[in-house]
Chain A
Amino acid sequence: MNVPEDLLYTESHEWVRRDGDTIRVGITDHAQAELTDVVYVELPKAGASYEAGGAIAVVESVKAASDIYAPVKGTVMEANSALESNPALINSDPYGEGWIFLLKMDDPAGLSGLKNAAAYKTAIG
């Protein structure tokens, strides 16, 4: 499984790329492999605010719908509209074109609870 060194990770298999007080979020290679065949993504609306751990998006495979959670408290800046017509980008490029949303953090200190790559690798075995 691909677990890039420069990202942070959640228990619920989201990855986080920080750029100042904004984070880009998607689901990990491990998560997309578990879900397989993503067929629909319900994206959050720009401007909507979420608590840390709040259900912010839904990724659906043929078999099941899975909630995606906000890694920290914040406001949605943008969602990846390319996923509307091509949800399989989550499978083919989970850390790149398969990103799901940009979140402006209320307090970047919230990131301290996330895992680094080594800890996430351990967590997924």
Chain B
Amino acid sequence: MSDSAEKRTSLYDEHVKLGAKIIPFGGWLMPVQYSSIREEHQAVRTAVGVFDISHMGELVASGPGAEEWLDTMLTNNVGKLEVGAGQYTFLLNDEAGIIDDLILYRIEDEKFLLVVNASRIEEDFAWLRAHLSGSTTPATIENQSERYAGLAVQGPKVGELFQALFGSEKEMPARNQIASFDLEGTKLLVARTGYTGEDGIEVFFAAGDARRVWTEILGKGQSLGIRPCGLGARDTLRLEMCYPLNGSDLSPAHNPLEAGLGFFVDLTKPNFTGREKLLREKEEGLSRRLVAFKMKGKSPPPRPHYRVFRGGHEAGELTSGTLSPSLNYGVGMAYLTTPVPKPGEEIEIEIRGQKFPAMIEKKPLYKKS
């Protein structure tokens, strides 16, 4: 793939200046690491790290009919969202396959922000627009992804950094809440969300302000031990928490129930895309489930697509796998045919033709001590 095929975020030059290793991801050229995945991972677990998430998409739905309409397009209950609140939710196709997982924020009474995965921006937008066109619903959907840049600031010292940035009298929004803040004249939307298992915020702002906000955060975070962090650490951090990665653990071939994410699907809603199929699946019983496991003893790190065996029979394949920097052993997730083994039960992972023992674990794999 040539460089010209992939997009660059407003911070691309900053990443290069910091010596980041750049890889293509979801149609973007993104930093995978600056110095070391392990060090960046530990910075987030023990201090604070900042990630460029400008590649993620921002769709905006507005109008008096927006709430009702989004409620038919997404799995979670939009009616439960008050102004300033966010919820994790799914966009499903008619067969309940996952088009995308996203966070929906109600930023005004009749205005919603959808923060979606980088590789799914066009598809989500086309799907939503197609379902809106021709209907009489008083709502609009816009793709504002180009206008926004975003940063995730994650780690136990995020509260201190927040006050260093915005003033000691200011408080972070509550968990899953979003609010506007002013950073020396720059308007930021700050959400208390993240993808690492640590306390943290995700901030969204005009793309033209990206360098200023990035520099300000790194500068104010210096005394707290802040590190710029790449996609490598983002992946190990989220996998320790068993947060799914779209394109790996989630895809149109999977539904949220088999991914173990039924909590974000409100089947009591009268109508949403994919509901019929999910109800049928639930009645007939799921054919597979996404489970978490850890390697027992010494083994190469487990990786996506390695095959899983149970009692000598093939039972599925890994969708995620890595060496956990926090736990120092191999961990992963795999869809296994039902009935799925319980935590503590043994499975085997095939790595380069050899089978290694692993054990089913409860999610999350990493628990804060």
Interface residues of A (CB under 8 A from B): 34, 36-37, 39-40, 42, 58, 60-63, 65, 84
What are the 3 tightest A-B residue pairs by CB atom distance, in nearest-first order? A62-B37, A39-B323, A40-B300
Specify which of B21, B38, B299 is in contact with A62 (CB 8 Å cutoff).
B38
A62 x B300 contact (CB < 8 A):
no
Given known pairs A62-B232, A62-B322, the reply for A37 and B300 (CB within 8 Å) is no
A39 to chain B, nearest CB (A): 5
Residue pair B301, A42 in contact (C-beta under 8 Å): no
Asked if B36 is at the interface of the complex by the 8 Å CB criterion, the answer is: yes
Contacts of A36 in B (CB 8 A): 33, 35-37
In the assembled complex, the Cα of A60 lies from the Cα of B232 at a distance in Å of 14
- Bound CA span A58–B354, Å: 14
Nearest-CB distance from A120 to chain B (Å)?
20
The answer on a CB contact under 8 Å between B300 and A65 is yes
Chain A residue at minimal CB-CB distance from B236: A62
Q: Which of chain A's residues has its CB closest to B33's CB?
A: A36
Total A-B Cβ pairs within 8 A:
39
**How many chain B residues have a CB neighbour from A under 8 Å?**
18
B352 near A39 with CB under 8 A, answer no
**Minimum distance in angstroms from B299 CB to a CB of chain A:** 8
Given A62-B322, A62-B325, A65-B300, do A42 and B352 touch, yes or no (CB 8 Å)? yes
A62-B323 contact given A36-B33, A37-B37, A40-B301, CB 8 Å threshold? yes
Residues of A within 8 A of B232 (CB): 62-63
Task: Please name all residues of chain A whose beta carbon is closer than 8 Å to the beta carbon of B303 when the two chains form the complex.
Answer: 65
B37, A63: Cβ atoms under 8 Å?
yes
- In the complex, which residues of chain B have a beta carbon less than 8 angstroms from the beta carbon of A61? 37
**Binary flags per residue of B33-66, CB closer than 8 Å to A gives 1, else 0:** 1011110000000000000000000000000000
The chain A residue with its CB closest to the CB of B41 is: A62
- Give B residues with C-beta under 8 Å from A: 21, 32-33, 35-38, 232, 236, 298-301, 303, 322-323, 325, 352
Smallest beta-carbon distance B36→chain A, Å: 5
CA distance A61 to B322 in the complex (A): 9
Report B322 CB to chain A, min CB distance, Å.
6
Interface pair A42/B236, CB less than 8 Å apart: no
CB-defined contacts of A63 to chain B, threshold 8 Å: 32-33, 37, 232, 322
Contacts of A37 in B (CB 8 A): 36-38
- Sampled A-B contacts (5; CB under 8 Å): A60-B301, A62-B323, A62-B325, A65-B303, A84-B298
Chain B residues positioned under 8 Å from A58 (CB to CB) = 300, 352
CB-based nearest B residue for A85: B298
Tell me the bound Cα distance from A34 to B300 in angstroms: 19
- Closest CB of chain B to A42's CB: distance in Å? 6
- A39–B37 alpha-carbon span in the complex (Å): 11
Name the CB-closest residue of A to B35: A36
Q: How far is the CA of A62 from the CA of B38 in the complex (A)?
A: 8
CB distance from A122 to the nearest CB of B (A): 22
The smallest C-beta distance from A41 to any residue of chain B, in angstroms, reads 9
CB <8 Å contact, B33 and A40? no
In the complex, what's the smallest C-beta–C-beta distance from B66 to chain A, in angstroms? 40
Shortest distance from the beta carbon of A27 to any chain B beta carbon, whole Å: 17
Q: Which residues of B contact A39 (CB under 8 A)?
A: 301, 323
**Contact between chains at B300 and A42 (CB < 8 Å):** yes
Q: Which residue of A lies closest to B328 (CB)?
A: A39
Shortest Cβ gap from A29 to chain B (Å): 15
Q: Select from chain B the residue with minimum beta-carbon distance to A88.
A: B38
CA distance A36 to B41 in the complex (A): 14
> Shortest CB–CB separation between residue B8 and chain A, in angstroms?
21
Q: Of residues A42, A61, A62, A65, which shows the largest number of chain B Cβ atoms within 10 Å of its Cβ?
A: A62
